[in-house]
Amino acid sequence: MFLEFRTEVKSVIEKSLDKCGFRAENLDLSPSQHADISSRVAFRLASAERKNPKEIAEKIVEMCEIPENSYIDRIISTGPYINIFAKHRYLEDTLVRIKEDQGRFGGGFCQGKIILEHTSANPNGPLHVGHIRNSVIGDTLYRILKHAGYDVETHYYVNDMGRQIAIVSWALANFDLDGSKKSDHAIADVYIRANAELEKDPDKKREIDRLMQLVESGDVETINRFDRAVDHAIEGIRQTLSMMNIYHDQYVRESDFVRSGAVSDIIEQLKLQGRTKMDDGALVVDLEDYGFEKDLVIQRSDGTSLYTTRDLAYHEWKARQADRVIDVLGADHKLISSQLKTVLSIIGKPEPEIIIFEFVSLPEGSMSTRRGKFITADDLLEQVERQAFSEVDRRRPEMGEDFKKEVSRMVGMAAVRYDIVKVSPEKSTVFDWKQALDFEKQGGPYIQYSHARACSILRKAEEEGIWNAGNGFDGSVLVEDTEIGLIRKMAGLDHAVETASQELKPNIIAIYARELADAFNQFYRFVPVLSSEDEQLCKSRLALVDCSRIVLSEILDILGLEAPESM
């Protein structure tokens, strides 16, 4: 809704600029605390026009002509700023639109196909609290982009032939797998043991090399062994992801690109560019003129491929099927991903958009699957849910066990996901149990609570027969500050989705969600709904509560959180 209003404002101001004889390519429009939209264009024009911005703003405002049916109520200048205010009808129409659009409000304005890769952790153990930062950022981004209107396909890129997987496969042949454990945890046990073994006895490294050569050459028995190891780990990882409401459309395997010949094709294309050379038997690409100090190895001296090479083939394949290719990667991939982009552009292929998130470390240092130093996502979810259970038990003692369990599952997951997504990806963080289990007041559960509150009012109103969802209402009677603030906030959903999908920053939506819940709770506190002074007002406020319910459930869905009707 905000986007439509902004379009009107843009057109009115552009026409005024024309009349004044001013030229500006950017009107510098943004939502503001001083108006529905503000423009700072007068600052931009000041030096070219050799006038002070205040005068320019005044002149622009004077020449503005507001069309008859516009949502614009008035345009005024405040010093150098141009402030634009919307008519009350803008708010009324927002409510109508929310009801009409059910679930799609504030979205659907973008189009195109996107392939989004996220998580892609090595299948050598369970996801830990660092991996799920990738998963939560990736999945939230997926939901944002989908809401914005894109056709989004999510990928988990499975390393099924690298050194780590060879080690897992070797470990399975040498140690017993604990069948009583969750599969990915059992894999981690043998993987850690194998790494310790390899460190003690470096000669064993040759056995690993041999396995990798066999896989690369297509040896069926070894491939099957690798596949079993990978499947076993992925099964557990998939379970963990589903507990967080995260699902991938495709699990794409690295080995597919070796077997299809795509990797050899890429190598041939690079050779044609004359950038490759041999170095100690390995094939390398010289990227020095692009600012990379060292050569990039694309083929080992024994002829086997590397992650980088397979990744090039994978990206070339993705780019052929989508308009945009987006990867969510950890900070350790910064260098390799910029090398990947460079090489792709050298062979004339589109580059992916890459979102880098910084590391989650433990107070005692960084996490490592190999060394067994990590906190698993399963462990985190379990402990948070237990904590949530005691919270629910305390607040709703009268409810049954099933209710408490279900609510603590929804609330626990929301707390974990929101905690991760609210922080900007470029900040590195230190995982702290105390903080993770502290149900911070305005996190995911707070947004869910606001939704449950809205549901509760509607339930009561329905029981009392004062309201049903099909009722008409008159938005013009909603004039309290908190009512207007709440509707304005809801109207701005499209702007939040637009910004988040342009900048690929899911935390923008997390902040929006919290602000929306704030606006709802302020309305709730100051304005009586069921005991409104007259019936018409009561019905309109109920409609507002219903709209809030719809938008809150929508925003919860965009964040991947469930929307309990009672908690």
Binding to RNA (CB under 7 A) within 517-536 occurs at 518, 521-522, 524-531
CB nearer to RNA: give 273 or 301. Answer: 301
List Cα–Cα distances, 20 to 43, 58, 219, in angstroms: 15, 11, 76
In angstroms, the CA 102 to CA 87 distance is: 24
HSE-CB at 326 with a 13 A cutoff on CA atoms is 26
Report if residue 35 touches RNA, rule: CB under 7 A.
yes
Residues 419-448 that bind RNA (CB under 7 A): 422-424, 426-429, 435, 438-442, 445-446
Minimum distance of RNA from residue 82's CB (angstroms): 8
Backbone angles phi, psi at 88, to 5 degrees: -60, -30
Report if residue 313 touches RNA, rule: CB under 7 A.
no
DSSP secondary structure of 247-312: --SEEEEHHHHHHTSHHHHHHHHHHHTT-EEEETTEEEE--GGGT-SSPEEEE-TTS-B-HHHHHH
Report if residue 452 touches RNA, rule: CB under 7 A.
yes
Assign 503 to helix, strand or coil.
helix
What is the radius of gyration, based on Cα positions, of the chain?
28
Residues for the chain: how many in total? 567
Report if residue 44 touches RNA, rule: CB under 7 A.
yes
Minimum distance of RNA from residue 460's CB (angstroms): 5
Residues 105-134 that bind RNA (CB under 7 A): 122
Residues 183-212 that bind RNA (CB under 7 A): none
Among 15, 99, 163, 193, binds RNA (CB under 7 A): 163
Residues 489-508 that bind RNA (CB under 7 A): 505, 507-508
In angstroms, the CA 452 to CA 521 distance is: 12
Report if residue 306 touches RNA, rule: CB under 7 A.
yes
Among 196, 272, 335, 469, binds RNA (CB under 7 A): 335
Q: In this chain, which stretch among 65-73, 78-86, 168-176, 465-473 interacts with RNA, using CB under 7 A? A: 78-86
Minimum distance of RNA from residue 517's CB (angstroms): 7
Among 201, 279, 382, 462, binds RNA (CB under 7 A): 279
Minimum distance of RNA from residue 209's CB (angstroms): 8
CB nearer to RNA: give 106 or 412. Answer: 412
DSSP secondary structure of 96-151: HHHHHHTT-TT-----SEEEEE-----SSS--BTTHHHHHHHHHHHHHHHHHHT-E
In angstroms, the CA 262 to CA 65 distance is: 60
Give burial (CB, 10 Å; 0-12/13-18/19+) of 32: middle
Report if residue 79 touches RNA, rule: CB under 7 A.
yes
Among 81, 105, 170, 191, binds RNA (CB under 7 A): 81
Q: Among candidates 442, 516, 511, which has minimal Cα distance to 485?
A: 516
Q: In this chain, which stretch among 95-103, 132-140, 262-270, 516-524 interacts with RNA, using CB under 7 A? A: 516-524
Among 4, 15, 20, 32, binds RNA (CB under 7 A): 32
Look at the block and give the residue holding tokens 């510098």: 28
Max CA pair span of the chain: 86
Among 110, 282, 437, 484, binds RNA (CB under 7 A): 282
Residues 341-370 that bind RNA (CB under 7 A): 358-359, 361, 365-366
In angstroms, the CA 200 to CA 193 distance is: 11
Among 46, 110, 319, 346, binds RNA (CB under 7 A): 46
Among 456, 466, 477, 557, binds RNA (CB under 7 A): 456
Q: In this chain, which stretch among 41-49, 146-154, 193-201, 553-561 interacts with RNA, using CB under 7 A? A: 41-49
Minimum distance of RNA from residue 188's CB (angstroms): 15
Q: Among candidates 192, 152, 201, which has minimal Cα distance to 171?
A: 192
